[in-house]
Amino acid sequence: MKKSTNQGVCIARHISFFVNDYVSSFLTESEHTIKAYRYTLTLYIMYLDEKRGININSLSSDCFSRSVIEEWILWLKNDRNCCAATCNNRLACLRVFLKYLGSKEIDYLYLYHDATLIPRLKEPKTKVKGMSKNAVKALMSVPDVTNKTGRRDLALIILLYATACRIDEVLSLKNKQLYLDTEKPYITIIGKGTKIRTIGLLPKAVAHLKKYLSEFHGSAPDPEAYVFYSRNTGIYGKLTQPAVGKMLKKHAACAHEICDEVPKNLHAHQIRHAKASHWLEDGMNIVQISLLLGHEHLQTTMVYLDITNDEKAAALATLDDETCKKIIPKWKNADGSLLNLCGLS
What structural domains and CATH numbers belong to the chain?
A: 2-116 (no CATH), 133-306 (1.10.443.10)
In angstroms, the Cα distances linking 343 to 207, 321, 334, 339, 340 are 62, 19, 11, 6, 5
**Percent of the chain's residues with pLDDT above 70:** 85
Tell me the residue length of the chain: 345
Gap between the Cα atoms of 312 and 310, Å rounded:
5
Backbone angles phi, psi at 72, to 5 degrees: -65, -40
Q: pLDDT grade, residue 286 (50/70/90)?
A: confident
pTM, two decimals, is: 0.70
Mean pLDDT of 66-82: 96
Residues contacting residue 247 through CB under 8 Å, at least 6 positions apart? 153, 156
Using one digit for the tens of pLDDT, what is the confidence trace for 167-191? 999 999 999 999 999 999 999 998 8
pLDDT tens-digit profile of 109-138?
999 999 999 999 998 876 667 789 999 999
Instruction: Count other Cβ atoms within 10 Å, centred on residue 130.
Output: 21
User: Does the structure show a pLDDT above 60 at 330?
Assistant: no
With a cut of 80, say whether residue 162 has pLDDT above it: yes
| pLDDT above 60: residue 288 | yes
Q: In sequence order, what are the residues at sequence separation of 6 or more whose Cβ sits closer than 8 angstroms to the Cβ of residue 344? A: none
Give the model's confidence band at 296: pLDDT under 50 very low, under 70 low, under 90 confident, else very high: confident
